[in-house]
Amino acid sequence: MQIEVVYGGATYTISDRSLSDVQEHVEATLASGSFGWLEAADGYGTAGPARLLIGPGISVVLVPRDVRDAEAGIDWPS
């Protein structure tokens, strides 16, 4: 599964982690009342690494994308 992360108006991707795993990471960071980092990729394919700051007041959207969608020709809007 691939997860799109919309953060600061840009789209990042996370691969090889489940949606629930990433969601639990974000929720645990927020529950701590402090800030933490979420590892992602800047873009698709041969994207570079990105570290997204997670904390109170920072908006993050997690969008699950199944790789099979792309293989089936389904083009989800960004």
Average pLDDT over residues 34-57: 88
Sheet holding 48-54, edge to edge: 48-54, 36-42, 10-15, 2-7, 61-65
Structure confidence by residue, pLDDT tens digits, 1-17:
789 999 998 999 998 89
Q: pTM score, two decimals? A: 0.75
Average pLDDT of every residue of the chain:
84
Residues 6+ away with beta carbon under 8 Å from 74: none
Rounded distance between C-alpha atoms, residue 24 and residue 42, angstroms: 21
For residue 33, pLDDT over 80 is answered with yes
Instruction: Tell me what pLDDT residue 37 has.
Output: 97
